[in-house]
Amino acid sequence: MATNPNRWRTIDIVIASIVAVAFGVIFWAWGLLWNGPADAIPLPGRAVLYGMWLVPAVLGALIVRKPGAAFYTLTLASLVSVAIGTSWGWTLVVQGPLEALGAELIFAAFAYKVYNLPVALLAGATAGIVASVYDALVWYPGTSWASMRLPYILITAASSLVIAGLGSLLLVRALAQTGVLDRFAAGRSRALV
């Protein structure tokens, strides 16, 4: 009897959870930066930092390479950040999974078989678009589309492409070189990542 390649192994759940918890803590610190020193950068320019919040979706999918990895990792990271305490509170219970779906849909569009640079960039950018459209509608409803919302969406998408897309791929490559991902396809195909 053949095993289902899309079935999550215990190691998949453990590693995705470790990544999620680590990023939940990073989110808390990133929120302090966003609302602290970075607050000196007016919106929409501050959106250049946004991509960090979307790294777990792309990183989780690049490591685990199974359906639901992007969704699981970012959703859990969002819940951890809520448990620690963020200025956005329980709204992240909705926003985190929505952002994760943006990345998840890209990996699904490639049938969970392609985990290269273009797909990682597209997943990061798409998650950024979903996140920033949500923000534009929920957090900045009274602002101008021309001077705030559209530039915010474009800057967030670019930030997410670079930080979440490229950054996650580079992080996976670095981790693969250490051997810690040898139990994953990402670690066994070091040259392909």
Per-residue CA distances from 168 to 10, 115, 177 (Å): 22, 11, 14
Looking at residue 116, the DSSP 8-state letter turns out to be S
How far does the chain reach from its first CA to its final CA, in angstroms? Answer: 30
Residues 6+ apart with CB under 8 A from 191: none
Q: Under a CB-based contact definition with an 8 Å cutoff, are residues 125 and 157 in contact?
A: yes
For 169, how many CA atoms within 13 A lie in the half-sphere containing its CB?
19
Rounded CA separation 124/35 (Å): 23
Q: For 152-186, how does the pLDDT look when each residue is reduced to its tens digit (9 = 90+)?
A: 999 999 999 999 999 999 999 999 999 999 988 88
Sign of the C-alpha dihedral, residues 122, 124, 128, 130?
positive
Residue 1 pLDDT class (50, 70, 90 cuts)? low
The pLDDT of residue 165:
98
Please state, rounded to an integer, the average pLDDT across all residues of the chain: 93
Q: For 4-22, how does the pLDDT look when each residue is reduced to its tens digit (9 = 90+)?
A: 888 999 999 999 999 999 9
The pLDDT of residue 193:
47
Q: Which helix (H) or strand (E) holds 64?
A: helix 55-64
Strands (E), 25-183: none
Q: Under a CB-based contact definition with an 8 Å cutoff, are residues 77 and 190 in contact?
A: no
